[in-house]
């Protein structure tokens, strides 16, 4: 990517401390914040991506697993619902470590479910050059043992979970989980609530495809749907629509400058319109880095 070095350094420092942003994350805590959505479905917020939990007579099902350093705290949280021994399924929405490092601890107890590409990436060395970050292969017990190509269903605790692959948005292995009975959706990192998202252009992501995927999902939900974003507070359809509009409009602004022949550096210097200041103010992601991600998406 062509993002200048100071921005890369700033971004690399902030990505590991996403929870420090003013986005209602449960920051700097050894515990999880639990938000009940129904009697047996919860949104959990730790230091990485948001988790989803469903409890009941069939045991526990967890969506995402946070960073490895949060595994003890996660086990403590699960103890409130019967303990990690009751965990039967763990769904990974994608391969990034803030959603999968907990596999190392939880994979001894649960079958891990994910898209085919997630297993492929976790089983091999991966790199995100923008962060100067390298992910080493996960051990066998921490890899997804149940994978799918397009969609699959799980029937757990009187709930049907539809797991749907939306390709090429945040990564090449994104899953969105629809709770059919309870009208809840876990978006993974296809949705960062109220601020600029990281889109992993190096590893199959693209801002334009992300916008397309979000538009499709908007057509699948209603105004009463509870949305668990990958990062940020519990959300609704209006929040997701605002996120979609931001993706479309900021991409259009960057494209207009590209069409004038401006280089990435000049586009970053000119910046986005003032309407996006509030998004930048809430974000761990500098506006210049977001411009770079959009620029590289448009250049693919």
Give the separation between CA 150 and CA 170, rounded to whole angstroms. 16
Distance, CA of 206 to CA of 123 (rounded, Å): 23
Q: Is the pLDDT of residue 6 over 70?
A: no
Residue 8: burial class (beta carbons within 10 Å; 0-12, 13-18, 19+) = middle
Parent domain of 99: 5-246
Global pTM? 0.91
The answer as to whether 292 is a domain residue is: no
The model's pLDDT over 126-155, given as tens digits with 9 standing for 90+, comes to 999 888 889 999 999 999 999 999 999 999
Report yes or no on 207 lying in a domain.
yes
C-alpha distances in Å from residue 265, one per residue of 5, 100, 208, 270: 12, 34, 21, 9
- Give the CATH number, domain containing residue 152: 3.60.15.10
Looking at the domain assignment, is residue 109 inside a domain? yes
Residue 28 has pLDDT above 90, yes or no: no
How many helices and strands in the chain, by DSSP H and E?
10, 14
Per the structure, the count of domains in the chain is: 1
Per-residue model confidence as pLDDT tens digits over 41-81: 999 999 999 999 999 999 999 999 999 999 999 999 999 99
Residue 9 has pLDDT above 80, yes or no: no
Structural domain contains residue 263: no
64: closest CA among 150, 190, 252, 182?
190
Answer whether residue 45 is part of any domain.
Answer: yes
pLDDT bin (cut points 50, 70, 90) of residue 17 is very low
Tokens of 279: 């998004």
Q: What percent of the chain has pLDDT over 90?
A: 86
| Token pair in block for residue 226 | 């509870």
Is 186 within the bounds of a domain?
yes
141-172 as b/e: b if 16+ CB within 10 A? ebbbeebbeeebebebbebebebbbbbbbbbb
Q: What integer pLDDT is reported at residue 2 of this predicted model?
A: 37
């Amino acid at each position: 990517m062509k993002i200048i070095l100071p921005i890369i350094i700033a971004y690399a420092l902030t990505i590991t401390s996403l929870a420090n942003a003013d986005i209602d994350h449960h920051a700097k805590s050894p515990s999880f914040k639990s938000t009940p959505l129904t009697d047996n479905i919860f949104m959990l917020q730790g230091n990485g991506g948001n988790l989803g939990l469903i409890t009941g007579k069939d045991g526990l099902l967890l969506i995402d697993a946070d960073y490895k350093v949060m595994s003890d705290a996660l086990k403590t949280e699960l103890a409130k619902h019967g303990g990690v021994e009751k965990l039967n399924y763990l769904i990974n929405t994608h391969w990034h470590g803030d959603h999968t490092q907990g596999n190392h601890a939880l994979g001894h107890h649960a079958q891990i479910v994910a898209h085919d590409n997630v297993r492929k990436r976790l089983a091999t060395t991966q790199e995100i050059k923008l962060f100067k970050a390298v992910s080493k292969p996960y051990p066998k017990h921490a890899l997804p043992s149940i994978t799918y190509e397009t969609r699959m269903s799980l029937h757990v605790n009187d709930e049907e979970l539809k797991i749907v692959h939306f390709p090429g948005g945040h990564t090449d292995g994104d899953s969105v989980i629809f709770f059919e009975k309870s009208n809840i959706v876990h978006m993974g990192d296809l949705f960062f609530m109220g601020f600029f998202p990281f889109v992993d252009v190096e590893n199959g992501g693209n801002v334009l495809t992300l916008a397309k995927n979000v538009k499709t999902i908007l057509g699948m939900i209603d105004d009463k749907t509870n949305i668990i974003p990958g990062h940020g507070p519990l959300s609704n359809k209006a929040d997701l629509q605002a996120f979609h509009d931001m993706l479309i409009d900021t991409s259009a602004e960057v494209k207009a400058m590209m069409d004038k022949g401006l280089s990435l550096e000049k586009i970053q210097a000119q910046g986005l319109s003032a309407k996006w200041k509030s998004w930048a103010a809430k974000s761990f992601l500098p506006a210049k880095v977001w411009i770079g991600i959009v620029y590289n998406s448009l250049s693919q």
